Structures are given as structure tokens and as C-alpha cells.
Amino acid sequence: MNTPPGSHEVRSGRRLCPFPIRCPNGVTVEYVLICCRLFVGAVFAVSAVSKVRGRGAYAAFLDAAGALAPWVPPPARTVTGPVVVAGELAVAVLLVPPATVVAGFAVAAALLAAFTAAIASALLSRRRVPCACFGGGSRSPVGPAHLVRNGVLLAGSLTGSVLGLDASGAVPEPAGAVAAAFLGLVVAGLVLLTDGIAGLLRPSGA
């Protein structure tokens, strides 16, 4: 069977992996997949928990969601809130077992696409809307930094989806797996600090 130039012929069942970056037995891809799972899963888990940690946080989230998507009728917002939280929790849970990682990344990508569209709409219409993505902990208005944050998360989700479809099931070295997981959590931490970082970079009085 012919393979693309520069690629390694790695079989998983009857499939042939076309990825040129794959090490023997697909270990490199497994490391990247672990990193993406920890990165995306941690952010969505924190996001969901922060929204329901108290009535005030949940109310702030609903208010911000209504301001971000004013075209959604008020009665529908009572449904939108639980759906978003349930979706975020589903992402965190689905990314744990290897058998459901692709579904988890797919749900994450769908939610991120909706969030990004709502934020872009608010910015284009020059509406000053507070970001309550993580409950009421931050009242900073949404801005370009939030689009970048969602873009990074979306990139991680799409990368994880592609690699998850082609995962060989190779067992990575424990040290490498721990390093990949640590890197994923570090990136998640930076993403969770988006508001603080954006505030430091924001001009005084802006």
C-alpha cells in the first residue's frame, strides 16, 4: 500500500495513519492527544463549576449570556443556561475515557463556535458586555482577548478531534504522559487567566 511521502506506515486495525510526525507505534500523537484532553477538559470543567458554584455566579452568567445574545427571547434564556452548563460538563466528562474523546472535542468545538459568534457580534455592535464565562468572578468586558482565548481552545479541540480519530492506542511512556498532561494544565491555566492578562495589557482608563 502506498503512503504519502515522508509519512510512516502505522497500522491500527485496518487503518493507515498518514501523519508524518508520528513516532513508532503512534506515541507522539498520543502525547499531543493527552495534552489537548487535559487542556480543553480542565477549562470546560472550571467554566461549568464556576457558573453553578452559587446563585450569584449563575445569575451573573445568565445576565451576561442575555447581553451577549439579545436576540434570544427571555423565556428561551432559562433553557439556554442549563444547556450551556450541561454541555460544558459533558465535555469534561467525555474527554476522560479514550473511547469518547472525539465526541467530547466535537461538543467543545460546537460550544466554542457559538460563544465566539456571540462575542464577535457584541464587539462589532460595540456593546459593552461583561464576561461571565467563569461565573461572576470577572466583570471585565469581552474583548479581542476573549476571541483569541476561544480561538486557542477551538484549535485544541479540532486538533484533538483529528488525532482522536486516528489514535493508534499506543501506550506512551509514563514520564512523557505526565509531561504532556502538565503542559495541558499549564496552557489551561493561562487560558483561565485571560481576563487578568488582558487587564494588565489594557491601557489605563480604557
Q: Which residues pair with 169 in a beta bridge?
A: none
Residue 142's pLDDT is 84
> Dihedrals φ, ψ of 130, to 5°?
-70, 145
* Interval 10-25: pLDDT, tens: 444 434 333 334 444 4
Q: What's the pLDDT at 9? A: 41
- pLDDT class of 132 with cuts at 50, 70, 90: confident
For residues 47 and 64, what is the distance between their CA atoms, to the nearest angstrom? 14
Angle among Cα 82, 88, 93 to the nearest 5 degrees reads: 120
SS3 193: coil
Exposure string for 129-141, b = 16+ CB within 10 A, e = fewer: bbbbbbbbebebb
Average pLDDT over residues 35-54: 94
Task: Give the pLDDT confidence score for residue 155 in this predicted structure.
Answer: 97
Strands 10-12 and 15-17: antiparallel
pLDDT of residue 44: 96
Whole-model pTM?
0.80
pLDDT of residue 139: 65
Mean pLDDT score of the chain: 81
pLDDT single digits (tens) 159-196: 999 998 876 667 788 999 999 999 999 999 998 887 66
